[in-house]
Chain A
Amino acid sequence: MKMMSGAAMVVEALKDVGVTHVFGYPGGAVLDIYDALFAQDDVKHVLVRHEQAAAHMADGYARSTGKTGTVLVTSGPGATNTITGIATAYMDSIPMVVLSGQVPSMHIGEDAFQETDMVGCSRPIVKHSFLVKRAVDIPDAIAKAYYIANSGRPGPVVVDLPKDIVNVQEEHPYVFPTDVSLRSYNPTERGHPRQIKKAVDALMKAERPVLYVGGGAIASDASAQVLEMAEKLSAPVTCTLMGLGAISGTHPQFVGMLGMHGTLEANKTMHNSDCILALGARFDDRVTNNVDKFCPHADIIHVDIDPASISKTVNAHIPVVGMVDKVLDQILEQLVNKDLSAQPDKLKDWWQQISQWRDKKCLTYEQGDTEIKPQRVIESLYKHTNGDAYISSDVGQHQMFAALYYPYKKPRQWINSGGLGTMGFGLPAAMGVQVAHPGATSVVVTGDGSIQMNIQELSTCLQYNLPVKIISLNNRALGMVRQWQDMIYKGRHSHSYMDSMPDFVKLAEAYGHIGIKVNKPDELDDAMAECFSHKDRLVFMDIAIDQNEHVYPMQIKFGAMDDMRLSKTERT
């Protein structure tokens, strides 16, 4: 039996779990753990400039790999700075473990220096948390934390480590559990056979089916099954913001993203469907619009790992609790015995209808002569990356443009804060992606508002040589806020403009990177080519775009899914 200090146990347990990268920031309560990290090379540490960014980096790492992201921070402010990052991961069901230092056990509750109740602070936004009270419990707590974070419906787990238990002066026996199980936690992974049969019957009967695919399909790596399902049934597929990439954006049966800024054809298809197969999607308010008017003709089959997501906002007719990949395997097994040759013919009218909606070409926009349109930037980005780049996004108009105008080919290629909508997420997320995939192209699509919420990480990028490409759509305003102010507040732009923008080119240069300013439409493609020619350097593209551009289509508030504005003047 190995004897070691609590701090060494933390690092040893991380190795045993298979952690290769930790994103963190040292401080008093975790100095012992940092000392243990110093002596080894298996677990690499990325030193951030702000702990919020550490959580987003671990998040980007997790989203792009499926592996659990790891954060290490000190007590008090170090821990509380991760809160937004933890909440972001929680809302999007991203596996993450946050190791936070804590003041020594005997001082807990005394308002000691840099003390906060991290387990309490994070309670509403974690899947679970541990306050470890004895050094010998460290391996077990860490093993359980990683198991919980990345099983069932994934999510963040906090492990709070008081300073006295990681003390390097005392040694304890280290035993890493060979098997982790909890009597109170057994996620149901396979669907109930009776529900599977009901789902199959409903799908076979359907004349206007649609697959509504969410982040759960990405989390359970169900892309192959989604594709097989779609093709067997000849059914149209729509993805949520979190589900983009679950099926290729260029697949002929893909009708686009659905929801508030979804395509007309996606929302029309949903609204007129007679059978919705929801796969790891949670019918959230940015999808459904008014739930009372939601898809009135459809039988809803809802497949989700989390029973609490089923019938939470919209009643499911056929609930199936289980992992998307496993449930689809079960449904596909049943379909083997069915004659599907008549499917294309049966759905002919449905597809005819869908193609009429597609003919409206809802994503068409007016090309500007003098000003660059944001949509064009994304199209140019697609062209210059062959559609293969990892695209991380911040939050706002640019996020919607990046979701709509860049057809994602693969799962985990599109990284964004869908649930919490965290500005400042994009750059650190793209850095986490780059750490996980050193040779790949990692791009962040951002705006002048979002990028300034974690811009200090440009320094981290230099230290670790992360050649992220920053595509900043600079409209000198908080674009999405401004759009709503235009639409709802008669153009009263209350505090949504930024009057003293930094010179982003000089800023990038000051941090040791390359900055490129783009002002005119005819400069865009050359600048984009230059940007991606710098393989090993971070390039900050500051692209001045049309300030008055809105994101369309857009659902009309309180309406049905397909009640939409198609442009500033046109409605459905």
Chain B
Amino acid sequence: MKRIISVLMENAPGALSRIVGVFSQRGYNVDSLCVAPTDDPSLSRLTIITHGDDKVIEQITKQVNKLIDVLKIVDLTENAHIERELMLIKVATRSEAVRAEVKRNTDIFRARIVDVHANNYTIEITGTTDKLDAFADTVGQCAEIIESSRTGVCGLARGERALRP
């Protein structure tokens, strides 16, 4: 089952490699990974999408929490949460018909065209992983996808819950 693990850690050299190391050393899966400093620049927040049974997820959270650089860890999937991912996708738009169709799909998905070139559009879309998959699928049916880049998922718990030091 897919899990969203959120980790609050020291924004220190080597901290990220230690966390990634735990996953490779112990044979856990990483489906996506997203990391950046928080509002407190001494801390980083990392979101990992992984999958496994309850026993594996329990071990992942314990082993990651054991790292000296890690302050807190939470499995967001256990409770109501918001998850978002951002994708930039560049599609070939060689004819007027394709341009129109791409624009129409972009509007339907509430995405935005952020760069226009003679032969291609670059579109920005934000949402859940499923939404991004669906958009790539749909736009791919009307235009050739040249390249795409995704950030991986980041997330927060809904309501009063928060991951704070």
Question: Among the interface residues B25, B63, B66, B69, which one has the most CB atoms of the partner chain A within 10 A?
Answer: B66
Which of chain B's residues has its CB closest to A307's CB?
A: B62
**Residues of chain A within 8 A of B62, CB atoms compared:** 307-308
Nearest CB of chain A from residue B14's CB, rounded to whole Å:
6
Query: Is there an interface contact between A308 and B63, defined as CB atoms closer than 8 Å?
Result: yes
Q: Report the interface size for chain A: residues with CB under 8 A from the other chain.
A: 18
A308-329, CB < 8 A from B: 308, 311-312
* Number of residue pairs A-B, CB distance < 8 angstroms: 38
**Residues of chain A within 8 A of B18, CB atoms compared:** 123
Query: Is there an interface contact between A124 and B25, defined as CB atoms closer than 8 Å?
Result: yes
B39-67 interface bits toward A, Cβ cutoff 8 Å, 1 = contact, 0 = none: 00000000000000001001100110111
B65-95, CB < 8 A from A: 65-71
Query: Is there an interface contact between A184 and B14, defined as CB atoms closer than 8 Å?
Result: no
Which of chain B's residues has its CB closest to A308's CB?
A: B62
Query: Is there an interface contact between A124 and B21, defined as CB atoms closer than 8 Å?
Result: yes
- Measured between alpha carbons, how far is A124 from B70 in the docked complex, in Å? 16
Nearest CB of chain B from residue A303's CB, rounded to whole Å:
16
**Residues of chain A within 8 A of B55, CB atoms compared:** 311
Query: Is there an interface contact between B21 and A127, defined as CB atoms closer than 8 Å?
Result: no
Query: Is there an interface contact between B66 and A184, defined as CB atoms closer than 8 Å?
Result: no
Asked, given contacts A307-B65, A311-B58, A312-B59, whether A129 binds B14 with beta carbons under 8 Å apart, the answer is yes
Query: Is there an interface contact between B59 and A127, defined as CB atoms closer than 8 Å?
Result: no
A126-166 interface bits toward B, Cβ cutoff 8 Å, 1 = contact, 0 = none: 01110100000000000000001000000000000000000
Which of B14, B63, B71 lies in contact with A119, CB distance below 8 A?
A: B14
- Measured between alpha carbons, how far is A129 from B67 in the docked complex, in Å? 11
- Measured between alpha carbons, how far is A184 from B9 in the docked complex, in Å? 8
Asked, given contacts A124-B21, A124-B25, A312-B59, whether A131 binds B68 with beta carbons under 8 Å apart, the answer is no
- Measured between alpha carbons, how far is A120 from B17 in the docked complex, in Å? 9
**Residues of chain B within 8 A of A124, CB atoms compared:** 21, 25
Which of A182, A307, A308, A311 lies in contact with B68, CB distance below 8 A?
A: A182
Whether a CB of chain A sits under 8 angstroms from the CB of B10 is: yes
Whether a CB of chain A sits under 8 angstroms from the CB of B165 is: yes
Which of chain B's residues has its CB closest to A153's CB?
A: B66
Which of B10, B21, B25 lies in contact with A184, CB distance below 8 A?
A: B10
A272-321, CB < 8 A from B: 306-308, 311-312
Which of chain B's residues has its CB closest to A309's CB?
A: B62
**Residues of chain A within 8 A of B165, CB atoms compared:** 183
Query: Is there an interface contact between A183 and B14, defined as CB atoms closer than 8 Å?
Result: no
B16-32 interface bits toward A, Cβ cutoff 8 Å, 1 = contact, 0 = none: 01100100010000000
Nearest CB of chain B from residue A292's CB, rounded to whole Å:
14
- Measured between alpha carbons, how far is A119 from B14 in the docked complex, in Å? 9
Query: Is there an interface contact between A183 and B68, defined as CB atoms closer than 8 Å?
Result: no
Whether a CB of chain A sits under 8 angstroms from the CB of B13 is: yes
Nearest CB of chain A from residue B156's CB, rounded to whole Å:
20
Nearest CB of chain B from residue A209's CB, rounded to whole Å:
27
Asked, given contacts A120-B17, A184-B10, whether A127 binds B68 with beta carbons under 8 Å apart, the answer is yes
- Measured between alpha carbons, how far is A123 from B67 in the docked complex, in Å? 11
Nearest CB of chain B from residue A207's CB, rounded to whole Å:
30
Asked, given contacts A120-B17, A123-B21, A184-B10, whether A128 binds B65 with beta carbons under 8 Å apart, the answer is no
Query: Is there an interface contact between B68 and A185, defined as CB atoms closer than 8 Å?
Result: yes
- Measured between alpha carbons, how far is A127 from B63 in the docked complex, in Å? 12
- Measured between alpha carbons, how far is A184 from B43 in the docked complex, in Å? 11
- Measured between alpha carbons, how far is A547 from B43 in the docked complex, in Å? 60
**Residues of chain B within 8 A of A182, CB atoms compared:** 68
Asked, given contacts A307-B62, A308-B66, A312-B59, whether A131 binds B71 with beta carbons under 8 Å apart, the answer is no
Query: Is there an interface contact between A131 and B13, defined as CB atoms closer than 8 Å?
Result: yes
- Measured between alpha carbons, how far is A128 from B15 in the docked complex, in Å? 10
Which of chain A's residues has its CB closest to B13's CB?
A: A131
Query: Is there an interface contact between A306 and B13, defined as CB atoms closer than 8 Å?
Result: no
A93-130 interface bits toward B, Cβ cutoff 8 Å, 1 = contact, 0 = none: 00000000000000000000000000110011001110
**Residues of chain B within 8 A of A148, CB atoms compared:** 68
Query: Is there an interface contact between A306 and B58, defined as CB atoms closer than 8 Å?
Result: no
25 residue pairs from A and B, CB less than 8 Å apart: A119-B14, A120-B17, A123-B14, A123-B17, A123-B21, A124-B21, A128-B69, A129-B14, A131-B13, A131-B14, A183-B165, A184-B9, A184-B10, A184-B68, A184-B69, A184-B70, A184-B71, A185-B68, A307-B62, A307-B66, A308-B59, A308-B63, A308-B65, A308-B66, A312-B59
Residues of chain A having any CB pair with chain B under 8 Å: 119-120, 123-124, 127-129, 131, 148, 182-185, 306-308, 311-312
Given contacts A128-B68, A131-B13, 10 further A-B contacts (CB under 8 A): A119-B14, A124-B25, A128-B67, A131-B14, A148-B68, A184-B71, A306-B66, A307-B62, A307-B65, A308-B59
